[in-house]
Structure 1
Amino acid sequence: MKRGENQMKFLKIPIDKPLTHVSSGHFVSPINWSHSKRNIDSFVLIVGLQGTAYIQQDKEKYEVKPGNVLILLPYTTHFGYEISKESVSYYWCHFYCKNSSIVDESTFTKELFVPKIEASIHNDCNYVMVPIYSSYTNTDRINILFNQLLHVAYSDYYTSYGASYLLTLIMMELTQQTISDHIQKLKDDETNGKFIKMLEWIRINIENNISVCDIAREFNYNPDYLSRMFKQKIGISLIKYINSLKITKAKKMLLCSDNSIKEIAYKLGFTDEKYFMKLFKKMENITPTQYRNAFFYTHMNNH
């Protein structure tokens, strides 16, 4: 539980190269313990195992219990704001990473959550997004990976990169579980169940020239209400969502077929080839022809 809870924030980290493991361990506190005050240059990953650790990071207060994961940021003062009367236990890991950023929940939804819902989209993602603070219902895999990390970090392993790769895998697992938990929450709610069906309907009909009014009529919504509701749930507009699916499919068709740009545009429900090309350039910062020329041979050379 987090006191004074705001919109969830995520740490976004590229994983083209592994995160850099610095040190890690399994901490067990005495009774009547409080976290010391620190301001350090590395990130700290904390996975709660037993008891409750009361940790404040700047103005935000967190209660780290079993199943909770907290990331402490570099050059940010953190300390125990309350004494833990019972013994506290947690895994911890100090690490460095390059080109990281803090993003909000709408970015997570747009870049990871929505593509995961759409089974037709293969998301070759080269980064992780881990909540600064979150609770996980199934920590078995996380705990197993952390045990492996500690084994590699403190055994006579032939390369120090082993711990860094395992840490990166832990962050990938946390990202995957966050996505899965979000999907399950949608499915558990009756209203959201209808929303999932709507996303599936859009996916099936993505090659047609579907509009907000078409979707609203199919699912008995007022078009204006549907647009507001969709933006609230997903974080992007319904039109932008539809266009993103069309452009994703267009990219695949550019690499896997000999269809002309005009043919691809029409197959995806665009009545205006020039509008399709303009939209593609806006979303991908490259024209359809440039995309095909840049990636076609790379794709053909892959199994």
Structure 2
Amino acid sequence: MDHQTLLANYLSNLQVDLYMVNYNRCGPGWRDLDYTPDYSKLYWICEGEGWLKIGDQEYYPKPGQLFLMPEGVTQSYSSISDQPFLKYWCHFSAKVGGINLFQILRFAHFVEVNQPVQFEDTFKSMLMYANSGEVYAHMMAKSKLTELLSHYIMSLDLEQITYLNVPVVEKLSTVLTYIDTNIEDNMSVQDLAQMLHMHPNYFIRFFKQQVGMPPIHYITSKKIDKAKEMLRCTSLTMTHIADNLGFSDSYYFSRQFKKHTGLNPTEYRKQMTITTTT
């Protein structure tokens, strides 16, 4: 499995939480040195000047730049003139399977934004929802945070994203590649754990931490993805598809399919046929 596929898998299982968001001008005393936050930050610079240090890298952010300051990395910041930053900013967490995303992946610390109006509108919406008392407001604010992170990553070259724990990534890639290429077979947790020379219980914890779900759930979801493809692209019966994908019987297959998609296989195939002919 290539790193791009593995990256997509991490990001599809990303869970974010928004702690705080605001829009204000920094004061002349805006300054803190060599602290390590237990939250991550985004700074969208609108005006002014200032200084940041993220790890061992120093920056003088400019308007139109979006900065990412990851959790668990030593940081410093300071005003440097009588024109301090005017910025949108937020504090958040981003986790995959309970692990801080930035312990798994290292991203470039900032991007030059090509569509500043879009970023500003997204920050405005996130701030509005964060200050709203509506029952759905926090969920909407988190969706805006996810949107910002998505656009941040879209603005990067893949070469600007690196894996921090290469041995873990290689082990995970081995297992995920095996699952993808053998999705039509029956495979057990014991088989997968043996591939990595792990005890099955440890392997389940390892897999869930890295992928965000237990291995059996992941395998089933990949089988359902394959079933959807077969329903769209072949005329095989439900029984044949269930047999080909290693389900014990067509009833169990149909139940699992509906659990994942909301439709039984027959309904799904009919819906896809309607979609492609209209």
- Same-fold status (TM-score > 0.5): yes
State how far apart, in whole Å, the 2-side matches of 1:105 and 1:181 are: 21
Shift of 1:191: 2.5
Deviations 1:176-202 (A, max 9, x none): 479x6997326x521321111211111
Relative distance call for 1:262 and 1:65 in structure 2 (3 A) is farther
Q: How does 1:57-206 map to 2 (within 5 A)?
A: 68-69=67-68, 84-87=78-81, 88-89=84-85, 92=88, 105-106=95-96, 136-137=107-108, 139-140=110-111, 142-146=112-116, 172-176=150-154, 184-185=162-163, 188-206=165-183
Which residue number corresponds to residue 213 of structure 2?
A: 236
TM-score by length of 1: 0.52
Letter in 2 for 1:105: K
Deviations 1:207-247 (A, max 9, x none): 11111122122332221211111112222111001001111
Whether the 8 Å contact between 2:15 and 2:94 is mirrored in structure 1 is: yes
Please state if 1:9 is matched with 2:16. yes
Aligned residues: 202
Segments of 5+ residues of structure 1 without an aligned counterpart are 1-6, 12-23, 35-44, 54-63, 71-81, 94-101, 114-130, 151-167
Whether the 8 Å contact between 1:253 and 1:264 is mirrored in structure 2 is: yes
RMSD between aligned residues: 4.6
Relative distance call for 1:83 and 1:65 in structure 2 (3 A) is closer
Letter in 1 for 2:151: E
Instruction: Give percent identity, aligned residues only.
Output: 28
Deviations 1:99-147 (A, max 9, x none): xxx99634899xxx9xxxxxxxxxxxxxxxxx9xx9841633x433338
Q: What SS does the aligned partner of 1:282 have?
A: helix
State how far apart, in whole Å, the 2-side matches of 1:276 and 1:183 are: 38
Relative distance call for 1:250 and 1:225 in structure 2 (3 A) is same
Letter in 2 for 1:86: I
State how far apart, in whole Å, the 2-side matches of 1:83 and 1:195 are: 37
State how far apart, in whole Å, the 2-side matches of 1:278 and 1:182 are: 42
Letter in 2 for 1:184: T
